[in-house]
Structure 1
Amino acid sequence: MWQQPPTHQTKVLVVDDSWTYLTFVASLLTGNGYNVITAIDGDEAIEKTMLERPDCLVLDVVLPRQNGFQVCRKLKQMDAVRHIPIIMVSSKNTPLDRHWGMQQGADIYLEKPFTEGDLLASVRSLTTKP
């Protein structure tokens, strides 16, 4: 699904240990004008967030080393990066999972499988400056 590209090169960190989802999301965002960087586990997600300072994270919940809930909570406790919005994505889709994700600091919680339109709209809503 093509949408109007962002007005500047918005940087999005995509974190998922599934090669299928990682490449799907990265390709979708790149094809819509976003600068995409990737990570495959929780430790790498924190490291790249600190180093790259992305405009937004698309963060899976089920990850090796540190899960997405832990990563989200840690990032939201760090003054330097707490302002960066986080979209949590997961096949864990119970109301409790959604509630827990939002409690950790996620701005949006999307259930897998999500539509291209839902992901693009979520990223755009969190990265578009008024």
Structure 2
Amino acid sequence: MAKILLVEDSNTDLTFLQKTLQVLPHELITAKDGEDAEAKVAAQKVDLIVLDVIMPKKNGFQVCRTLKKDPRFQHIPIIITTSKTAESDKFWGERQGADEYLTKPLAPAELLATVKKYLK
């Protein structure tokens, strides 16, 4: 069973992520901000990260860049989820090392398919 870290500061969006992904046979853990996310990745074996961009303390781009530069964590797939829809934002997310960049509002089927793609 894989462990998926959901990093989201909005309770509404977090609930959506949990309800959408609970159909998968994986453990879901959560973090409310970038610093909490980095601490959880360092403390637990995480297999995939679903990462919001706009958050307090450290934004998702910063977290993605930090994790992808660290040899201990650079293998973990990161799916960025954000309301930032400009092509320049997507480009920046990819430059930080994101494996996927999904824009909100998320389609449940797309989210599930993307998660499954990285957990096969």
Please say whether Structure 1 and Structure 2 have the same fold, judged by a TM-score greater than 0.5: yes
Match of 1:28 in 2: 20
SS in 2 for 1:119: helix
User: 1:127 is matched with which residue?
Assistant: 119
Are 2:4 and 1:12 aligned?
A: yes
> Quick one: which amino acid aligns to residue 46 of structure 2?
P
TM-score normalised by L of structure 1? 0.89
Q: Number of matched residues?
A: 120
- The alpha carbon displacement at 1:23 in A equals 1.4
Quote the offset at 1:53 in angstroms: 2.0
Rounded to whole Å, the distance in 1 between the matches of 2:86 and 2:64 is 18
SS at match of 1:14: strand
Equivalence for 1:77: 69
CA RMSD of aligned residues (A): 0.8
TM-score normalised by length of structure 2: 0.97
Shift of residue 31, structure 1, vs aligned partner: 2.5
What stretches of structure 2 of length at least 5 have no aligned partner?
none
Q: Distance in 2 between matches of 1:34 and 1:119?
A: 14
Could you tell me which runs of 5 or more consecutive residues in structure 1 were left unpaired when the two chains were aligned.
Answer: 1-8
